[in-house]
Chain A
């Protein structure tokens, strides 16, 4: 099984750029095109939040139009830039197949990996939040699929990644979440976004992976002293490949024009046109 994982598109309204600088809609469309061309094909595309730049309905609709160009089913969970109600109004019953007690959390059975989308947002706050209600829901979901390797996807990484702004955002109730995860050994991965950088960490017996943003990447500053800034790097996304040997291997893909591919062969000194 192959999962394409995109995150933090931050799509602005039609014809607009995020922060009037970042061509986030175009970048998302480039990722859609790139994913459509993948071979082997992914079975599913997961979007881990911050679909919109400011939560506006026009932004969600613009993002939906672009994601509609995917030739694979896609599922999404909200991020702190999104508004739950708006996302539900636009994607409910489709890319957000169901919700639970107002949270856009749901399970997608039927694939080789059991998929659980978890709403980690707290309205009005940039950081993550898991309250007892959501922790219980997750615990129950994980207990139900105990026989099956499972991938959890949500916006906020439950570990501090050395990124000033998002680390300061914090994650309320992360210990509660940690206890649930630690109880279920079949969680293969927790797929997240939020930090606009690729990162991996072992946590509670599983691995947390954050995907780069499709829209704009953060400047990595492990000194955590500089003001938070983004660069208009190539859009990126991740591919999580469940191998025949049952390892979930994560690859990061950047969508940029490159020369190649070349085979590991000696090429003629004068590079000729293909015959």
Chain B
């Protein structure tokens, strides 16, 4: 892969700490309901931020407002310290890749790429050099003379990516760019996009509903639901330290146990589960003693037959179903009335084989059990 030519990359005009800032942004299409509610988000220069959420959560609307394709109803979007409305479209330095933002069908690949360069006072030989580099970057160096219709979906998407990068934008926006590709190609492109980001140091804002895509590529992920950012955090924080029930459920696999808070002692909540079992959990997002809570425990953090001196408590569970998956056994249990409780038992030496119908003891360390809102 040829390293890109960064020598002409323009330095930002000022030393704003943030490349992009959403400030109290609201969006309404009908004047009655807000699809984006009071959004605040700062994106650093060179950062890869993913807006992740179910459809209708407001993530694409936010990207469209940043792209200038929609206007904010209230609030302000600031780019390099300037309100985006005060910057004409051609001066924003934004490259875009959208799933449904197709290549121009009547131009060859090379023409598609040279279109954004055509009149930046760039000499013709320089243009063809830039086009060549951008094509190399997406491993499509041989395809300059083809027309889009002669390319596969994956190849077209690579060209769209090259077109977004060819004029050295400072900011690249992508809306589900891999949505139409099959799983294998999608995973390959995820790594390529991640590598290109590392190589170029551009700021990337990526929209997807696919959490594994978000976890693979992002520096930080903004989890959207109902027009609100539920949590903004690095992938590991998001998975290991979800701050509310929505995030815990949306990111990765999650076990929930409902209960009532008996007492809070510093960081630790004592909780009575709905079947009467008493457990302790990390107090993350609960109102106080007497409040309902939903405990969140990841399947790989549940310990079978725990050494009861090492865990705060153990409770009983009934094995309902076992699925052998090679490296681990997936065990579905009934625990405190929840019969969809999943435990991933590593296929490790010394781990005993469970049997369906067996009653076992399970436990966890307090930090792995998070007491969240019951909303």
B208 within 8 A of A: no
Assess the A110–B89 pair: CB atoms within 8 A.
no
Q: Select the stretch in A62-70, A161-169, A180-188, A247-255 that faces chain B.
A: A62-70
Contact yes or no, B30 A71, CB < 8 A: no
Tell me, in angstroms, the Cα distance from A263 to B71 when the chains sit together.
19
Contact of B26 among A67, A95, A263, A274 (CB under 8 A): A274
Q: A94 to B101, Cβ gap below 8 A?
A: no
Q: Report B-chain residues with C-beta under 8 Å of the C-beta of A37.
A: 68-71
A29 with B121, Cβ < 8 A, contacts A73-B115, A263-B30, A274-B34 known: no
A33 touches B88 (CB 8 A): yes
B103-111, B233-241, B293-301, B312-320: which lies at the interface: B103-111
Q: Are B34 and A275 in contact (CB under 8 A)?
A: yes
Q: Is the CB of B106 within 8 A of A36?
A: no
B119 touches A68 (CB 8 A): yes
Among B68, B96, B115, B120, contact of A33 (Cβ-Cβ < 8 Å) = B68
Instruction: Tell me how far the C-beta of A146 lies from the nearest C-beta in chain B, rounded to whole angstroms.
Output: 20
* A71 CA to B90 CA, complexed, in Å: 10
Is B88 within 8 A of A68, CB to CB? no
Question: Do A262 and B89 form a contact, CB below 8 Å, given A61-B121, A91-B119?
Answer: no
A62: nearest residue on chain B (CB-CB)?
A: B119
Residue from B28, B69, B92, B118 within 8 A of A94 (CB atoms): B118
Please tell me which one of the listed residues A66, A108, A109, A111 contacts residue B90 in the complex, with CB atoms under 8 A apart: A66
> Among residues 80 to 108 in chain B, which have CB atoms less than 8 Å away from a CB atom of chain A?
88-92, 96, 101, 104-107
B348 within 8 A of A: no
CB within 8 Å of B: which A47-86 residues? 61, 64-71, 73
CA distance A64 to B105 in the complex (A): 21
User: Chain B: interface residue count, which band?
Assistant: 20 to 34
Distance between Cα atoms of A66 and B26 in the complex (Å) = 28
A91 and B90 in contact, given A36-B69, A110-B106 (Cβ under 8 angstroms): no
Interface flag for B244 (CB, 8 Å)? no
CB neighbours of B92 from chain A (8 A): 69
Q: Is the CB of B96 within 8 A of A71?
A: yes
Which residues on the B side are within 8 Å of A73 (C-beta)? 104, 106-107, 115
Dominant secondary structure of chain B at its interface with chain A:
loop
Docked-complex contact B89 and A32, CB < 8 angstroms: yes
Are the C-beta atoms of A36 and B104 separated by less than 8 Å? no
- Minimum CB distance partner of B100 in chain A: A41
Contact of A69 among B26, B90, B121 (CB under 8 A): B90
For B88, what are the chain A residues with a Cβ–Cβ distance below 8 Å? 26, 29, 32-33, 66, 69
Partner pick for A262 among B31, B69, B91, CB 8 A cutoff? B31
Complex interface: chain B residues within 8 A of A90 (CB): 119
| A110, B107: Cα distance in complex, Å | 10
The 9 closest A-B pairs by CB, nearest first: A69-B89, A69-B90, A64-B119, A29-B88, A94-B118, A110-B106, A274-B28, A73-B104, A68-B90
Interfacial residues, chain B to chain A (CB-CB below 8 A): 26, 28, 30-34, 68-71, 73, 88-92, 96, 101, 104-107, 111, 114-116, 118-121
- 15 A-B contacts, Cβ less than 8 Å apart? A26-B88, A33-B68, A36-B89, A61-B119, A67-B90, A68-B90, A69-B88, A69-B89, A71-B69, A71-B96, A73-B104, A73-B115, A90-B119, A91-B119, A274-B28
User: Which A residues form the contact surface with B (CB < 8 A)?
Assistant: 26, 29, 32-33, 36-37, 61, 64-71, 73, 90-91, 93-95, 108-111, 262-263, 274-275
